[in-house]
Amino acid sequence: MCYQPEPATAETARINRDAVELYDLADRRDFADARRGLIAELPGNVLAEDGSVAFDPHAFDWIGDDDPAPESVNPSLWRQSQIIRHGGLFQLADGLYQVRGNDITNLTVVEGTDGLIVIDCLNGVESARQAMGLIREHISDKPVAAVIYTHTHLDHYAGVKGVVDADDVASGKVPIIAPGHQFDRYALGENVIAGNAMARRSFYAFGGFLDMNSCGYVTGGMGIGSLKGLTVSYISPTDLITETGAKREIAGIEFEFLYAPDTEAPEEMHIWIPQLKALTCAENANHSLHNIQTLRGARTRDARNFARYLDETLERWGDESEVHYGPHTWPVWGNGQVTAFLESQRDTYKYIHDQSLRLANKGYTPLEAAEVLELPEELRRNWASRGYHGTLHHDVRAVFTKELGMWDGDPVSLHPHPPVETAKRYVEFAGADAILAEGRRAFEAGDYRWSTQILHQLVFADPANTAARELQADAYEQMGYQAEGPQWRGIFLSAAKELRLGVQPP
């Protein structure tokens, strides 16, 4: 069955058209930086072990660099997608290279005197193997001298067996360097303890049910998206970094580490390469606001620590850094630009944390605070502070969760009826026809949020009510088209598809 989404309504088209005024779309620096240093284009499809196509590098060719945003895509998300769709092998500095765009994560390689140091290994063996093939073809066939995991998330280690032979690690020939005393625990445990729930949420958030088009998936904001069918691998680290200032010399290259636990991941670290004046802050600094609480599901993070360790990084290496590269998005060059980028990231997380608690102490609930808190103009107009992964709205709510726990302070939310029972009671006293009529009135008025909320009662009370399901799907769809955050878009559009077609298998 060919799934046909509905187009953007006139109200959604107007909202997305008006949103253009919020952004400096004439700023093209990021477009140039994302293509700077290109050595080679991606060679072709990433194939899974069974021969199926896990990723087609041309899958996003329909997103033109100079094309205006379609009515069904927020113009800020469209711009971000235009930038990150470009992949290939890039030179960042003498001896420093990245493969971007064949996975949601970047693979970074430092060329030493007698070996290669690989930083982060992508989401699967096949994509990592393809990335290393590019390195071998265009840069060097030197052996891998070391692997570095920047943190404990799967898309940074799962391709390791496409980079290095496990026997070489076991023999001590190739060390794997990683942060923290408990790297194994967090790397493996996160995907086991609540794995089924996280997988389902991830398929929603990252558009696993959606087609790639202007009414569906338009990249993941921080990368092209998660590939399907890849082989996941893992090799435990052999050399753990547990304190700031630790140094390692590998293949004639010195690396210095800043231990940054309890930030974007439970175990994480920043890396300074003094010979190259190159710095990475792992996922604590990106061309996007990050999650303080993920929608896929993970431990709530501490926004204060993002700010704290970014500030410490600036104190240590800010005056010397000439290039900042990350495991997602694209690099930043020049000391002034690197410093401004990291200061902006630091200030954004500090502001969100402090102002969320200011509102909490004034009596706001999480949802009330998220509705009114805005970034200052200087941060709001900074592209790297926009919500292409986290969003300001759900990050504010996350600060409440981190500092105050799950209860929002309103007695009515402490012991409510479960959703289905609540829905049945609403329908019983208000009537199905009245709820449906109100949902339709709200939809026609362009109040899609209220339309989905009121129709939620009818759909949960009577899942067989086709009219309610169709109308709620229509409303969710418009919310998805308006969303700047690709995960919000993915969730709303996936919900719309499920309401129309039924539950979609992962």
Tell me: the pLDDT tens digits for 228-257? 889 999 999 999 999 999 999 999 999 999
In the prediction, which pLDDT does 215 show? 97
Q: What share of the chain is helix, strand, coil (3-state, %, to 5)?
A: 45, 15, 45
What band does 506 get if pLDDT is binned at 50, 70 and 90?
low
On the question of pLDDT at 355 being above 70, the answer is yes
Query: Count of domains in the chain?
Result: 2
For residue 7, tell me if it sits in a domain: no
Mean pLDDT estimate for the chain:
96
**φ and ψ at residue 198, rounded to 5 degrees:** -65, -40
Q: Please compute the mean of the pLDDT values over residues 416-420 and round it to a whole number.
A: 98
Tell me: the pLDDT tens digits for 56-83? 888 899 999 999 999 999 999 999 999 9
On the question of pLDDT at 221 being above 70, the answer is yes
Q: Please compute the mean of the pLDDT values over residues 481-491 and round it to a whole number.
A: 97
Q: Please compute the mean of the pLDDT values over residues 278-295 and round it to a whole number.
A: 96
On the question of pLDDT at 85 being above 70, the answer is yes
Q: Would you put residue 225 in left (φ > 0), alpha (ψ -120 to 50) or beta?
A: left
Q: Quickly count: other Cβ atoms within 10 Å of residue 414's Cβ.
A: 9
On the question of pLDDT at 333 being above 70, the answer is yes
Q: What percent of the chain has pLDDT over 90?
A: 88
State whether 399 and 425 are in the same domain.
no
Residue 104 has, within 13 A of its CA and on its CB side, a CA count of 21
In the prediction, which pLDDT does 392 show? 98
CA 284 to chain centre: 12
Q: Would you put residue 344 in left (φ > 0), alpha (ψ -120 to 50) or beta?
A: alpha
Sequential DSSP letters for 2-52: ---PPPPPHHHHHHHHHHGGGS-TT--HHHHHHHTTEEE---SPEEPTTS-
State whether 58 and 132 are in the same domain.
yes
Angle ∠(224,228,231) on CA atoms, nearest 5: 115
Beta bridge partners of 270: 258
What band does 38 get if pLDDT is binned at 50, 70 and 90?
very high
Q: What is the CATH number of the domain that holds 248?
A: 3.60.15.30
State whether 122 and 219 are in the same domain.
yes
In the prediction, which pLDDT does 196 show? 86
Tell me: the pLDDT tens digits for 438-464? 999 999 999 999 999 999 999 999 999
State whether 338 and 480 are in the same domain.
no
In the prediction, which pLDDT does 226 show? 66
Could you tell me the residue range of the domain that residue 431 belongs to? 416-501
What band does 18 get if pLDDT is binned at 50, 70 and 90?
very high
State whether 251 and 105 are in the same domain.
yes
pTM, full prediction: 0.96
For residue 9, tell me if it sits in a domain: no
On the question of pLDDT at 157 being above 80, the answer is yes
Residue 440, token pair as written in the block: 């339709």
**φ and ψ at residue 402, rounded to 5 degrees:** -65, -45
Tell me: the pLDDT tens digits for 141-150? 999 999 999 9
What band does 8 get if pLDDT is binned at 50, 70 and 90?
very high
Q: Which of 88-92, 222-226, 384-388, 397-401 has the lowest mean pLDDT?
A: 222-226
For residue 477, tell me if it sits in a domain: yes
What band does 1 get if pLDDT is binned at 50, 70 and 90?
low
State whether 73 and 166 are in the same domain.
yes
State whether 246 and 116 are in the same domain.
yes
Q: Quickly count: other Cβ atoms within 10 Å of residue 406's Cβ.
A: 9
Tell me: the pLDDT tens digits for 372-397? 999 999 999 999 999 999 999 999 99
In the prediction, which pLDDT does 405 show? 96
For residue 14, tell me if it sits in a domain: no
Residue whose pair of structure tokens reads 């199926």 in the numeric block = 52
